[in-house]
Amino acid sequence: MDKMYNRLRNLDAYPKINEDFYSRTLSGGVITLVSSIFIALLFLSEFRLYLHTVTDSKLVVDTSRGGKLRINFDVTFPSVPCTLLSVDAMDISGERHMDIRHDIFKKRIDSHGNVIETRQDGIGALTIEKPLQKHGGRLEHNETYCGSCFGAETSDEECCNSCEEVREAYRKRGWGMTNTDLIDQCKREGFVQKVKEEEGEGCNIHGSLEVNKVAGNFHFAPGKSFHQTNMHLLDLLALQSESYNISHKINKLSFGDSIPGIVNPLDGVEWVQIRPNGVYQYFLKVVPTIYTNIKGHTIQSNQFSVTEHYKSSEEDQYRSLPGIFFFYDLSPIKVTFTEEHASFLHFLTHICAIVGGVFTVAGIVDSFIYHGQKAIRKKMEIGKLG
C-alpha cells in the first residue's frame, strides 16, 4: 500500500510549498482582492445568463401547402366616412371577396378623433316595412313583396328588397349606381341621408380577414367595388364631391398571432395626403414564422417586411381606384425561433474558464510587479539606480 501511495504522490501536479517559504507582499494582496471582485462580477453575469432563456433561430424551406392566412388590421381614416368605406380582397387563385362584412367593425369618429358610434358592418341595416311596389307596380291582395332591381334583374322572379340587394344586382351586371336618389329602396332606408349625415367624419375600421395562403391583395376604398370585363371598377355612391382624402394611420397590421418580442413594421405608421385622390400601395413580403417558448407552447404566425409607393391621380394613366392597397407575397423560407435554457455543463465550463483565466492573468501581473520591485531594490542597494 505504501508503494501505491508513493506512486500517487508522484502524480501530484500541484506540489505543496512549506508556508515558511512564502513571501507575501502588499501588491499581491491588492491584486488578489481586485481579481476576486472581478471573478465575482463575471460569475454573477454568467449566472444571470444561465437563468435566462436563449433563443435559437433557424431558416428552413417552407414545404407547407394550402391552408388559410389570417390578416388582422386596425386602420383609421380621418376623412372617409364609415358608410363609404369598404374592404375587398383577392388573390392569384382568382378568388375575390368584395365589400367584406364578416368580422369587420367600424367606429365613426369626428374631426378630433373622438368616437361617435361603434357598429359591426352589415348589422343593424334598415329594412323596408311598407313596400309599395312589385317590379314597379302595386302589390295585390295577399301578394308577398318583391322589390324591383331597376333593370338589373336576370329573371322575372328575381327580387331586390333592400338598397344593398339592388347594388349587388348592379355589381353582378357590371353596372355602377350613379344616383341612389332614384332607387326606391335606398330612399326608404335613408341611405343617401346617412351618407350626408356622416359628411366630414372619419372612420376607424378593424377586424380580420381569412384568405388563402397564396399571394394576393386587400384594400380599403371609398365606395363599393365590382368587376367588369376583368377590370376593377368602383361604385362611388353618387357622391357630390369627386375628391377623396385617403390619409390614414395603421394602428395595427399583422398576419396571424403576435409573436413575443417582435414588432410589426407598419404598427403606428401614419400618412397624410396632400393632393386629393390617389392610390397608396404597400408591398409586403410575408415570412412564415414558428415560435416555441420555453414551456413548449408553439405559435405559428408570420413576420413581414414592407415597401411603400404613392401614385397620384395625375400620374395614373389607368385611373386606379382611390384607396390604400396591401399587396402581399409569401416567402418560400420559414423562420423558427426556439426558446431554451443554456446547458449546465456549458455554464460550468464558463465558470471554470473565468476562475482559471483571471487567476492566471493575476498571477502573471503579480509576478511582473514582484520581480520588478525586487530588481529596483537591488539597484538601489548597489547605488546604480539613477
| Structure-derived torsion over alpha carbons of residues 209, 211, 217, 220, reported in degrees to the nearest 10 | -20
- The reported pLDDT for the residue numbered 313 is 67
- For residue 246, give the nearest of 189, 196, 185, 321 by alpha carbon: 321
Q: List, in sequence order, every residue forming a beta bridge with 96; answer none if it has no partner.
A: 90
- The reported pLDDT for the residue numbered 231 is 43
Q: What is the DSSP letter of 19?
A: G
Tens-digit pLDDT profile for residues 31-76: 888 888 999 999 999 888 888 887 888 999 988 877 899 999 999 9
At 268 the three-state DSSP class reads coil
| Structure-derived torsion over alpha carbons of residues 30, 34, 37, 38, reported in degrees to the nearest 10 | -160
Segments making up each domain of the chain, as ranges: 18-53+342-382, 63-120+201-331, 127-189
Q: Which of the given ranges, 4-8, 117-121, 354-358, has the highest pLDDT on average? A: 354-358
Q: Which of the given ranges, 305-314, 326-335, 339-348, has the highest pLDDT on average? A: 326-335
Read off the C-alpha cell for 258: 403576435
Average pLDDT over residues 215-233: 66
Read off the C-alpha cell for 133: 311596389
How many Å apart are CA 367 and CA 25, to the nearest integer? Answer: 11
Q: Which helix (H) or strand (E) holds 88?
A: strand 85-91
**Alpha helix (H) ranges present in the chain?**
2-10, 26-51, 163-173, 184-189, 191-197, 344-382
How many Å apart are CA 168 and CA 53, to the nearest integer? Answer: 55
Is there a contact between 71 and 237 (Cβ–Cβ < 8 Å)? no
Read off the C-alpha cell for 239: 357622391
DSSP for 171-212 reads HHHT-----GGG-HHHHHHTHHHHHHHTTT-EEEEEEEEEEE
* pTM of the predicted protein model: 0.66
Q: Which residues contact 15 (CB under 8 A, 6 or more apart)?
A: none
Tens-digit pLDDT profile for residues 150-186: 777 877 778 888 777 887 787 777 666 666 667 777 7
136: left (phi over 0), alpha (psi -120 to 50) or beta: left
pLDDT: which is higher, 181 or 123: 181
Is there a contact between 11 and 350 (Cβ–Cβ < 8 Å)? no
